[in-house]
Amino acid sequence: MFSSSPSYLVKLNQFEILENNFHSQEDCDIKIVQEKGNPKKKYYLHSYKNDINPIRIIQEVQLLRRMQGPSIVKLKGYSHTRYKNGKQCVSVIFENNPKENLYKVLFNDKILLSGTQKQILMTGIAHGLKTFHNNGILFSGINLKSILVNNFMEPSLTFKHNENDELNGFCRTIFKANDTPIYKEGKSFNDIVTSQIDKINLPIEIFDDDIDLDSDTYTFGMLMYEIIFGETIYKNFSFNNSIHGLKSGRIKLSTPNDFQNEKIGNLILDCLCINKGDRPSLDEIYELLGKNEEYRLSDINSEEFERYVEHLEIYDERNEWKNKYENEKKKSRQSALSRSIMSTRIEFKSVSLKTDLTKYSCLKKIDSGSFGNVYLCENIETREKVAAKVSQEISNISLINQREINILCQIQHPSFIRIKGYSFKDFQDNNSLTILMEYMKNGSLAKMLNMDVNQNLSNTDRQTIAVGIAYGMKFLHFHNIIHRDLKPSNVLLDDNNHPKISDFGTAKFIDPKNPELQSQSGIGTPIYQAPEVFHGELYGKPADVYSFGILLYELFTSRKPYSELNLNRPGGAFYLLTKVVDSKYRPKFNFDFNPKLKTLIMDCWDHNPNRRPSFDQLYKSLRDPEYFLPNVNVNILRNYVQKIATAPRNEDIKNEEAFLMLLSENDSLKCENQELKAKIDVKS
């Protein structure tokens, strides 16, 4: 189950400090520590200060987890609490190589390297950079201080120093993933890069704001020169003169005249080529340095070097087979899905629900959020009122955009908001996702709980709402759908205060054979977010149960969860999540309350997902009088249960892959659907 995902969350009290003031800078304190009882292993402990975005650091630590290898620094883990300090921030722990960084080895300790050591260094660094590049990540400005070496002079890419000799965390290393900047935060790309790397290592194109993976090749060429010759290639020029001279062609780079390996000399100059399109890739460089004997330095111990390359190759081969296995599994699932669809003609209700928005007029805006806006609209002909949820403008309709339509079209049941129509345009004809739903004039459960000190809801209403949500979630989980954002604002109330679960924009189908999902950043609302979702564990159906537990507390007690923590202050959401994850902090029952109901709610938010009840169990318990609030009208509740249990429902629910393949990829079925729509239009 959930233990199958390696957790990198660690407790700092498992470590003891060896060197308390190893390095301190404006945004990060660095200590050298060791695990208690294990003096053989030492680690770097980076404690980031409060003004550094902790969510960003954690996201990038999770990114680093995907790239563990012999040429990249090994991540030990991270914690949400600063070492021996009550302040809430992030601490990250990396391995500590005995020789520390390569700059110290070459220029402070002035260690003379053998040809074998130089070849190992260059090959290992190339291997690490190609690993970054193969994951779509630009390292941006690697230098000697961002390379750790062990006693065998084997390198690991790690943190970066800037020109003021400040040691930056790994989060400052990554700038692009799949060509998208991920650490801009209001600054220009050049401002960030030039403030964090030695200017002498800057690729020429930095001044044209044209950084990409080839820019790492430039800085790698600089490193090769420094490793081989022990000095910078620009030693006789000032920085500004070098840049202007190179761009104008006045300065021509070259290797020393007495350097005998012409192949390596030309490789260095190719890396430093002004036209970045002519530079070799890191994959090509690694192949040349690691496997082509013509690119080996003199006086090299071939046996020792080849043993090191074999070590790197074993890692690459293992990952290649792992990737092939994952791809084959994916192809197999897609093939099985295709065969299933080809052999079965499925009629989606969505065919008849695509709507012409010109038939509706907007009356007023009734809600807004990060998703977009909700409007009260009216059908011009029938005068039927509907709620129109209009997403923010998008350039194309993706699988995620269609997911909510797919689910709503198929789960027609009193426990869920009913879809009336949809369009891939908004009312101004812009590209957007617009969903027309039945209008609930009572609004959301959140709105009702906040009105008139909760006098609008009787205990019978509250018990009914809890039972209705539990039934709806039981139905979703039976069909392997998880909601991922269950909260009072996503539960609407009809005229009888009966609940209707809404907002399936973050909902997702899960594989019943592998019912756990890898966490995605930004999914869920902090107050209702399960601990395993926050720190990147695998999660599944129990995460919805956790959210339901927090919702029940709010519904049954008329109290806002965590109100005692002052969450409106800066960083309040992160403070809450660290309390929830690290300290297992939960809402307080410091008042008289039904003990069985209290235990049920606390079981829902158990820290261990495997110990949380299922919605089948919750639905059964919440109908039991032992779990009732005071003065619940049993007959009213029984009638409601009878209504939702006997209501018609669709039991043949298809996931979004089937939906999209049906409507987009299979031409014959598209024609059938068009013919069906024409028949429906004629009949209507």
Positions annotated as catalytic residues are: 485
E strands present in 52-206 = 75-81, 88-95, 147-149, 155-157, 160-161, 167-168, 176-177, 180-181
DSSP H/E element including 474: helix 459-478
Give the SS3 label for residue 222: helix
b/e map 163-185, b = 16+ CB within 10 Å: eeebbbbbbbbbbbeeeeebbee
What's the CA gap between 173 and 175, in Å, rounded?
Answer: 6
Q: Which residues contact 557 (CB under 8 A, 6 or more apart)?
A: 589, 591, 593
Determine the Cα–Cα distance for residues 65 and 68; give it in Å rounded to an integer.
Answer: 6
The Cα–Cα gap between 547 and 223 comes to: 51
Query: Are the beta carbons of 578 and 565 closer than 8 angstroms?
Result: no
Query: Could you identify the residue written with the tokens 């995620």?
Result: 400
Q: Which amino acid is at 620?
A: K
Amino acid at the residue 340: S
C-alpha 262 chain-centroid distance: 46
**Exposure string over 312-329, b if 16+ CB within 10 A, otherwise e:** beebbeeeeeeeeeeeee
The identity of residue 345, as a single letter, is: R
Q: In angstroms, what CA-CA distances link 316 with 75, 117, 217?
A: 18, 21, 20
Beta bridge partners of 278: none
Helix/strand/coil for 44: strand
Q: Which helix (H) or strand (E) holds 54?
A: helix 54-65
Instruction: Write the burial class of residue 37 (CB in 10 Å: 0-12 exposed, 13-18 middle, 19+ buried).
Output: exposed
For residue 91, the number of C-alpha atoms closer than 13 Å in the C-beta half-sphere is: 27
**How many residues can be counted in the chain?**
684
| DSSP of 559-570 | --TTGGG-TTST
272 phi, psi to nearest 5 deg: -95, 15
Radius of gyration of the chain (CA): 30
**603/286 Cα distance (integer angstroms):** 53
Both structure tokens of 594 = 């039904």
Contact predicate 358/425, CB 8 Å: no
| Three-state secondary structure call for residue 196 | coil
Q: How many CB atoms lie within 10 A of CB 372?
A: 19
Instruction: Output the CA torsion 348→349→352→357 (10° steps).
Output: -110
CA distance 125 to 114: 17
Sheet strands (E) in 439-537: 481-482, 491-493, 499-501, 508-509, 517-518
Q: Tell me the three-class secondary structure of 234-248, residue by residue.
A: CCCCCHHHHHHHHHH
Bridge partners for 181 per DSSP: 176
Residue with tokens 């202007």: 244
Backbone angles phi, psi at 444, to 5 degrees: -90, 165
DSSP state of 72: B
The three-class DSSP label of residue 501 is strand
